Structure 1
Amino acid sequence: MPKKAKPARNGEEEGPVPCKQGKLEAAQAPSTLNFESPTVLFESLISPITTKTFFKEFWEQKPLLIQRDDPTVATYYQSLFRLSDLKSLCGRGLYYGRDINVCRCVGGKKKVLNKDGKVHFLQLRKDFDQKRATIQFHQPQRFKDELWRIQERLECYFGSLVGSNVYITPGGSQGLPPHYDDVEVFVLQLEGEKRWRLYRPTVPLAREYCVEAEDRIGQPVLEVTLKPGDLLYFPRGTIHQADTPPGLAHSTHLTISTYQNNSWGDFLLDTISGIVFETAKEDVELRAGVPRQLLLQAETTTAETKRLSDLLRTLADRLEGTQELLSADMKKDFIMNRLPPFYIGDGAELSTPGGQLPRLDSTVRLRFQDHAILTVGPDQERSDEMREKMAYIYHSLKNRRDTHMMGNEETEAHGLRFPLSHVEALKQIWNCSVISVKDLKLPTDEEKENLVLSLWSECLIQVV
């Protein structure tokens, strides 16, 4: 999903594309989606299919096709991104490779037709018209407010990064050969018609991306032509290809993708180091040295494998009684790289504390709960082996929309750290709709006030 930046000619990487935030496009069609909450948003996206049916029968299992003969939905989908949008967007400083790819499927192979440097609309339109090339626009939510609004809600719903790409393909042309992706994909048809062919996955729930899958695709399990307003979902690992039928000017579709590197295996790799670290404090077996010259051996002996298996069982036993898993990277990576909350205006409410200053006699509530995480981890300001655990709050209120899902763009963690003794009080704030400051589980009134003042200054709570 993330797209890496393309180096400029002088060898230095171009800066991020400037992005105006806050103002909704004047031509935006009335939304047919319900943004009341992340759950309601997703329900409206896949309607009339219920979420219960979706996750029981389709999610990570098989494709879902929703065809809608509804002009209102079609008009709304068409407003999300049009070919005509490219002219104004090219004037905002887009670059080949980073923001736009131009490609075509020739002889079953992907042929990239990118130029160097900045994208100029006249050249882009020339390649589109004369070379019948597909325009792939990376992460349009950086520029289109309604896509920001949709994807921000979906990131709250899935608890995972949500990226998107727009594909604009001339009639009688195909941009990409058969391939499969390592993400769950939702396809929204925006303009024209697009023919899709889906095949059985050669690698179910694929982790790796395969460019050439045509020699293993077999017969399609689904062939369908999408029209504006239609939605298609298929799980990661599903081989697919799409083309625009002859006779049409062009076709535009949007892919919304999620759950990249978000498997049980990823989570286990993320948490196992914390489990080992904590268990080793109490279990002398984990602190015993490995056999001499173990690292020099070409093969592991049966006795060594048995010893390792026993230690893993010990970790599994400890895990069953653990309520707090130490997430080394996944939680922090998600909150650092996700979209900031959607807003209309200058975003002042996300950066400047507002409302009454919290005191001991105040009642407070958490703001932007979907955009903040509470986690526990070793003290990151100490490097010695006896690092104590600390409570960390990370949030995405100050994240940059213009770098969302752009791969190697630098990101910064925003948040607070507290002594481990503050965890229970923080959980009270996280788990209660409202709570009195004086009821927080801290030994002194001073600590209670200092805690809520810290959260208030970071715009994470407000007085009610």
Structure 2
Amino acid sequence: MTAFDAFAHAQSLLEGLDSLDGLGDRQPPAGRVRLYEPGKAADAAARDALLAGVWSALARPGALATNFRLVESGRQIDRSRWLRSRVGDGEVLHTALVPAYLHSAVERGATLVVSHLEALDERVMLLCEALEYLLHARAWVNCYITAGDNSAFDVHSDDHDALILQLHGRKHWQVDSRVGARSRDLADDSLDRVLTPGMCLSVPRDTAHRVSGTGDLTVHLTVGYEPFADVLEETRAAHELAGRPAPDPGREWLAARLAQRPDRRAGASLPSALTGEVQPTTRIRWASRFPPYITTDEDHLTVTTMGRRIRLDTRLGHTVGLLARGGALTFGELAVRSDLPTTDVRALVAFGARNDFLICEG
């Protein structure tokens, strides 16, 4: 899965949820429970790539022991039974799963939880970054694997919004229709569905839900996200220190603040940055994990991204806007869609690669 594929899949998921209840200008799908059933071959390819990422993450050495939990009947099983760890290379903690005990526990209904899967596999990381960009949100990915028909967790709610991506097998979800109720008893009209591979479920924060297996091996990802979370926390903390109540910031102000964060997507532009050369097939994408904040005046285009302000000629506005959408374009596609001469597009891409606000790959 390339960055281009991951971004297209993230768009497909959100557009599927959008078609049910309307995301407006790509607001996070909060406010009610939503379900998306894919119908594209590309969705199946993306699902298979993510599932391959799960198996790869389980097999790779060097993951932290804290990335893994084994939960049975609401209680964690001691890691010493199913995980081997050793310290090497200074303070690096190497881990390896113990297959015999793990298989037995999962088959009788225990759930293996892999936290922050995006840190263990590039394919999952690319999807996580794409969703962050589209939702203006800090996001992370946990994976849940079980083979029983019981629930490792009782009815509970989470303090963050979540997207559930079913990758393998079938999982039974019951989600309270009363968003924010945090009830231990689900309402009669709650969602009650068995998710099959490719389906995506949106669960708003503080919404009670119960999850259980269907007797088959099942794997799903939970993408947790908090829109503008860090920015809001920083704003509230600053006002508390000053001894005054925090205002209710507007979306534009929040977007401007988010663009000041230094967070960068994974990827390198070293060859293009050094030589200034790009090929027609070179894929180009914005480097920031969050959208840039763009303002214009009579003479200049001011782009705030990753904590830096970049002043450009206003004639570059349309081309910069194409790149700032977040997906990947080949240089050939960008040149065709741009309203600039090809030489000017090439100069902009070279400038972006040298100044690290564009990633050029291939």
In the TM superposition, residue 101 of structure 1 has moved relative to its aligned partner by: 0.8
Q: Output the CA distance in 2 between the equivalents of 1:350 and 1:43.
A: 29
- Picking from 339, 364, 368, the partner of 2:287 is 368
- Structure-to-structure mapping, 1:77-96, within 5 angstroms: 77-81=47-51, 85=55, 89-96=58-65
**Alignment equivalent of 2:144, drawn from 167, 178, 181:** 167
Please tell me whether residue 240 in structure 1 is matched to residue 165 in structure 2: no
Write out per-residue CA displacement over residues 359-388 of structure 1, whole angstroms, 9 at most, x where no aligned residue.
xxxxxx99636667579xxxxxxxxxxxxx
Q: Does residue 65 of structure 1 match 2:29?
A: no
Work out which of the residue numbers 191, 196, 199 in structure 2 matches 1:227.
196
Structure number with bigger Rg:
1
Note if contact 1:165-1:254 (Cα within 8 Å) is conserved in structure 2: yes
- How far the C-alpha of 1:114 sits from its partner, in A, is 3.5
Q: Is the 8 A contact 1:198 1:220 kept in 2?
A: no
Offset of residue 245 of structure 1: 1.5
Written as runs of structure 1 = structure 2, the 5 A alignment for 1:147-186 is 147-186=124-163
Distance 1:271 1:458, change over 3 A: farther
Give 1:151 deviation, angstroms. Answer: 1.8
SS in 2 for 1:103: strand
Q: CA deviation at 1:94?
A: 2.9
In 2, Cα distance between the equivalents of 1:340 and 1:58? 20
Is 2:345 the counterpart of 1:460? no
Q: Tell me the equivalent position of 2:69.
A: 101
What SS does the corresponding residue of 1:45 show, helix, strand or coil?
A: helix
| Cα drift, residue 126 of structure 1 | 3.7
1:227 Cα shift? 0.6
User: Which residue does 2:77 correspond to in 1?
Assistant: 113
Q: What pairs with 1:302-381 in structure 2 (closer than 5 Å)?
A: 335-336=262-263, 340-341=265-266, 343=267, 347-349=268-270, 353-355=274-276, 368=287
State the TM-score, normalized to the length of structure 1: 0.51
Structure 1: 5+ residue stretches without partners: 1-23, 26-30, 205-212, 277-289, 291-307, 357-364, 376-390, 396-414, 417-422, 436-452
Offset of residue 63 of structure 1: 0.6
Encode CA deviations 1:305-355: one digit per residue, 9 max, x unaligned: xxx79xx9xx99xx99xx978988x665x543xx624x5xxx353995441
Secondary structure of 2:118's counterpart equals: helix
> What is the alpha-carbon distance in structure 1 between the residues aligned to residue 254 and residue 117 of structure 2?
35
Mapped to 2, the partners of 1:58 and 1:252 lie a distance apart of 24
Q: Say yes or no: does 1:256 pair with 2:223.
A: yes
| Cα distance change, pair 433–367 in 1 and its aligned pair in 2 (3 A) | farther
Q: Which residue of 1 is the match for residue 122 of structure 2?
A: 145
Note the C-alpha offset of 1:100: 0.9
Q: How far does residue 93 in structure 1 lie from its aligned partner after superposition? A: 2.4
Quote how far apart the aligned CAs of 1:120 are.
Answer: 2.2
Find the residue that maps to 1:81 and give its secondary structure. helix
8 Å contact from structure 1 (residues 350, 459) kept in 2: no
Quick check: 2:137–2:228 contact (8 Å CA) kept in 1?
Answer: no
Q: How many residues align?
A: 302
Structure with higher strand content: 2
| CA–CA separation in structure 1 for the residues paired with 2:36 and 2:193 | 11
**Partners in 1 of 2:44 and 2:286 — Cα distance?**
35
| CA distance 1:43–1:51, shift in 2 (3 Å) | farther
> Conserved in 2, the CA contact under 8 Å of 1:202 and 1:216?
no
1:161 and 1:392 map into 2 onto residues whose CA distance is 21
CA distance in 2, matches of 1:255, 1:326: 25
Percent identity over paired residues = 14
CA 1:243/1:456 → structure 2, altered by over 3 Å: closer, same or farther? closer
Matches of 2:41 and 2:291 in 1, distance apart?
38
2:229 partner SS: coil
Equivalent residue, structure 2, for 1:215: 184
Q: Deviation per CA, 1:230-260, whole angstroms, max 9, x where unpaired?
A: 11112111111211113x2x11111112126
Whole-angstrom CA distance in 2 between matches of 1:85 and 1:225: 23
Cα-Cα RMSD: 4.9
Check 1:259–1:230 CA distance in 2 against 1; reply closer, same or farther (3 A cut): same
